[in-house]
């Protein structure tokens, strides 16, 4: 597994990054339209615990559903 400088190896129970390499921040919400993370979540991702990463992934899924439903 490749490890970037100053980035800890992904913990075995950590989810994969939700990044899909389609980075486009919505100017009003500051949420990426590709992965549905906030800018703060994107920046913090490598330093989050596995539990925190799972929480972010769940929030991303909720945002995607809300967007699909127009809410």
Q: Give the phi and the psi of residue 32 in degrees, each rounded to 5.
A: -70, 130
pLDDT at res. 70: 85
Strands in 1-71 per DSSP E: none
Residue pLDDT tens, the chain, 71 long: 343 444 455 567 999 999 999 999 999 999 999 999 999 999 999 999 999 999 999 999 999 999 999 87
pTM, full prediction = 0.79
Each domain of the chain, given as residue ranges in start order, spans 20-71
How confident is the model at residue 71, as a pLDDT? Answer: 76
For residue 71, what are its two tokens?
A: 């809410």
């Amino acid at each position: 597994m490749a490890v970037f400088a100053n980035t800890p190896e992904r913990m075995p129970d950590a989810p994969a990054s939700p990044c899909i390499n389609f980075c486009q921040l919505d100017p009003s919400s500051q949420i990426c339209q590709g992965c549905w993370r906030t800018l703060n979540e994107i920046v913090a991702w490598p330093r989050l615990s596995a539990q925190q990463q799972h929480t972010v992934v769940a929030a991303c899924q909720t945002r995607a559903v809300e967007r699909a439903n127009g809410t």
